Amino acid sequence: MHVQENFSLKAFNTFGIDISARYFAKFSSWEELEQLKEIVSNDVPPTPLILGGGSNILFTKNFNGLVLKNEVYGIRVVAETPDHIIVEAGAGENWHQFVLHCIANNYAGLENLSLIPGTVGASPIQNIGAYGVEIKDSFHSLDAYHFHDKKIVHFTANDCAFGYRESIFKHDLKNELAILKVRFQLNKKPNLKTSYGIIEQELAKKKISNPSIKDISDAVISIRSSKLPDPKIIGNAGSFFKNPIIPLAKYDELKHQYDTIPGYASDKPGRIKIAAGWLIDQCGWKGYRKADAGCHALQALVLVNYGKATGQEIIDLSNQIIVSIQNKFGIDLEREVNIF
């Protein structure tokens, strides 16, 4: 394993924040992780920070530790039943390329999750989701290396404690593991999820009445490209905040005052998920820019770095947004992005 010192992470986080890591190395197998102890001095935190695509992270200062870029690759079918295919992918594989691989082979289930930035290994950490589908719906199992116990641990879907943008890897096991391989149980016969309004509209626009999984993927790609900024052009980490899940009574009260407030069913009884982007938009932040930190002009849930913003400037903007949402609606917004 080749370890570099004082290494710039600008190209390794989609916000494009220019900070450096005290140590940086890439790994492509767990055997390389076993050698870590001999490589890094004792004065850095014992657990490294694992980077996948760097698409859900905001650095606010130099990282005084070891950053490991996950480059575990490979995609293969590991089992097949009359209805399902179990596909395993290395955690370092690009998520969207993996989805396209599944679509090309007619493995159904991930098509609504097309064009989400990041890697396969990051997908279970925050149970990525879009257009009515979350990865927990197709997740089979994963293998991860436990840094402290120095062994490979196997997780089933139950072990992962998935929730809306949540899993055990963000809580009890935060920063303790390197995810190595993830398996998905995909369908031979598609079970299409087209009920999300905007997908129906996109298919109607293209005059598609009997869509294939490729048609759904293409529709999702068009929708996402039309309103989400491409991190290669404008730095961002997708949704910066989670959609808040509020009591039904609070929603009814708000609905009385603001009849356009969007609400979605949540898996929490007596509670409803509302659109943070709508709340932020209502407070007038959409398109706001101060120096190089801004709120995207087409989707207020996405904070952007126009070039030279620091992580602290993005955090300051997010704090101002949180305060204004609290003042206007009495709702606490929670950040979705990991802050370091």
Q: Which of 88, 202, 313, 336 is catalytic?
A: 336
Contact 282, 258 (CB under 8 A): yes
- In angstroms, rounded to a whole number, what is the distance separating the alpha carbons of residues 278 and 262? 7
Closest CA to 90 of 177, 162, 155, 28: 28
Residue whose CB is less far from ligand EPU, 28 or 282: 282
Closest CA to 184 of 125, 145, 136: 136
Figure out which of the listed residues 130, 203, 216, 283 binds ligand EPU, where binding follows CB under 6 A. 130
Tokens of 105: 């082979």
Q: Which of 22, 165, 183, 224 is catalytic?
A: 165
- In angstroms, rounded to a whole number, what is the distance separating the alpha carbons of residues 174 and 190? 34
x/- contact string, 217-236, with ligand EPU (CB under 6 A)?
A: -----------x--------
Q: Does 278 bind ligand EPU (CB under 6 A)?
A: yes
Q: Which of 55, 167, 239, 318 is catalytic?
A: 239
Residue whose CB is less far from ligand EPU, 103 or 116: 116
Start-to-end CA distance of the chain, whole Å, equals: 24
State yes or no: is 336 an active-site residue: yes
Residue whose CB is less far from ligand EPU, 72 or 216: 216
Contact 121, 182 (CB under 8 A): yes
Question: CB of 284: closest distance to ligand EPU in angstroms?
Answer: 11
Closest CA to 130 of 183, 200, 226, 196: 196
Element (H or E) spanning 253, and its range? helix 248-257
Question: CB of 317: closest distance to ligand EPU in angstroms?
Answer: 15
Burial of 93 (0-12, 13-18, 19+ CB in 10 A): buried
Element (H or E) spanning 235, and its range? strand 235-239
Residue whose CB is less far from ligand EPU, 238 or 311: 238
Question: CB of 62: closest distance to ligand EPU in angstroms?
Answer: 26
Q: Does 66 bind ligand EPU (CB under 6 A)?
A: no
Dihedral sign for Cα 29, 31, 35, 37, please: positive
Q: Does 242 bind ligand EPU (CB under 6 A)?
A: yes
Q: Does 300 bind ligand EPU (CB under 6 A)?
A: yes
Dihedral sign for Cα 304, 309, 311, 312, please: negative
State yes or no: is 239 an active-site residue: yes
Q: Does 96 bind ligand EPU (CB under 6 A)?
A: no
Cα 153 off chain centre by? 22
Residue whose CB is less far from ligand EPU, 70 or 114: 114
Q: Does 277 bind ligand EPU (CB under 6 A)?
A: yes
Question: CB of 222: closest distance to ligand EPU in angstroms?
Answer: 13
Which residue has the CB atom at the shortest distance from ligand EPU? 238
Residues with active-site annotation: 165, 239, 336
Site residues, ligand EPU (CB under 6 A): 130-131, 228, 238-239, 242-243, 262, 275, 277-278, 281, 286, 299-301, 336
